[in-house]
Structure 1
Amino acid sequence: MARTRLRIPSLLALSAPLALVLVTGCGGDTGSSDDGARPRDGKPVVVVTTTWEGAFAKAAGAEDVTVIVPSSTHHAPDYDPKPSDLAAVAKADFVLYAPFEPYAAKIKEAAGSSAELVEVNLDNDADKVGAEVARLGKLFGTEDAAATWKSGFDTEYAKLSQELKGAWPEGKSPNVVSQVFTAWAAKLAGATTVGTYGPEAVTPAQLADLSKNKPALVLDNAHMSTGTVLPDSGARQVKIVNYPGDDLDLLAVHRGAAAELKKAMGAATS
Structure 2
Amino acid sequence: MAPVRLPVRSLTALSAGLLLLTACGGSGDTGGSGGTSRADGPVVVATSSWEAALAKAAGAKNVTYIVPASIRHAPDYDLKPSDLTKVADADYVLYASFEPFAGRIKEAAGSKAKLVEVNLDNDPAATEAGVSKLGKLFGTEQAAGKWNATFADRRKKLAEQLKSAWPGGKRPVVVAQAFTTWAAKLAGARLAGTYGPDQVTPAQLSKLSAKKPKFVLDNENMSSGTVLPDSGARQLNIVNYPGADLDVLAVYRKAAEQMEKAFGAS
TM-score range, shorter chain: 0.7 to 0.9
CA displacement at 1:137 relative to structure 2: 0.1
Structure 1 residues 96-150: Cα deviation after superposition (integer angstroms, max 9, x where no partner): 0111125235247579953111101001111111111001000000001111111
Q: Matched residues in 2 for 1:155 and 1:18: separation?
A: 44
1:152 match: 150
Map residues 241-256 of structure 1 onto 2, 5 A cutoff.
241-256=239-254
Given the alignment of the two structures, is residue 119 of structure 1 paired with residue 117 of structure 2, yes or no? yes
Secondary structure at 1:99 match in 2: coil
1:88 is aligned with what amino acid?
K
Cα distance in 2, alignment partners of residues 117 and 254 from structure 1: 28
Distance across 2 between alignment mates of 1:188 and 1:261: 10
Q: Which residue of 1 aligns with 2:5?
A: none
Give the aligned partner of residue 17 of structure 1: 13
**What is the CA-CA distance between 1:87 and the residue it aligns to?**
2.0
Q: Which amino acid aligns with 1:94?
A: Y
Identity %: 63
Distance 1:20 1:151, change over 3 A: farther
Of 229, 238, 241, 1:240 maps to: 238
SS of residue paired to 1:106: helix
User: For residues 6-36 of structure 1, what are the alpha-carbon distances to aligned partners after superposition, in whole Å with 9 as ceiling and x for unaligned?
Assistant: xxxxxxxxx95237889xxxxxxxxxxxxxx
1:170 positional shift: 1.3
CA distance in 2 between partners of 1:234 and 1:141 (Å) = 50
- 2:223 aligned partner: 225
Match 1:213 to one of 211, 214, 219 = 211
> Which segments of 5 or more consecutive residues in structure 1 lack a partner in the other structure?
1-14, 23-38
- The answer as to whether partners of 2:50 and 2:120 remain within 8 angstroms in 1 is yes
- Aligned-partner Cα distance in 2 for 1:174–1:226: 22
Supply the distance in 2 between the matched residues of 1:217 and 1:101 (Cα, whole angstroms): 31
Secondary structure (helix, strand or coil) at the match of 1:91 reads: coil
What is aligned with 1:58? 56
CA gap 1:19/1:99 in 2 versus in 1, 3 angstroms? farther
Compute the displacement of 1:81 (Å): 1.1
CA RMSD of aligned residues (A): 2.2
CA contact (8 A) 2:173 2:191 kept: yes
Whole-angstrom CA distance in 1 between matches of 2:81 and 2:111: 17
Instruction: Output the CA distance in 2 between the equivalents of 1:82 and 1:58.
Output: 24
Aligned residues: 238
C-alpha separation in 2, matches of 1:227 and 1:113: 40
Given the alignment, which residue of 73, 78, 83 partners 1:85?
A: 83
Could you list the per-position Cα deviations for residues 174-228 of structure 1 after superposition, in whole angstroms to 9, with x for gaps in the alignment? 1111101101101111111111101123211001111111111100001111110
**In the TM superposition, what are the counterparts of 1:68-79 in structure 2 within 5 Å?**
68-79=66-77
Equivalent in 27, 39, 42 of residue 44 of structure 1? 42
In 1, Cα distance between the equivalents of 2:142 and 2:17? 34
Letter in 1 for 2:149: S
- Would the aligned equivalents of 1:111 and 1:117 in 2 still touch at CA under 8 Å? no
Distance in 1 separating the partners of 2:38 and 2:250: 32
Q: Take 2:60 and 2:206, find their aligned partners in 1: how far apart are those partners?
A: 47
TM-score, normalization by structure 2: 0.84
2:92, 2:114 within 8 Å by CA — same for their partners in 1? yes
The aligned residue for residue 32 of structure 2 is none
Find the counterpart in structure 1 of residue 27 from structure 2. Answer: none
Q: In structure 2, how many angstroms separate the alpha carbons of the residues matched to 1:176 and 1:109?
A: 44
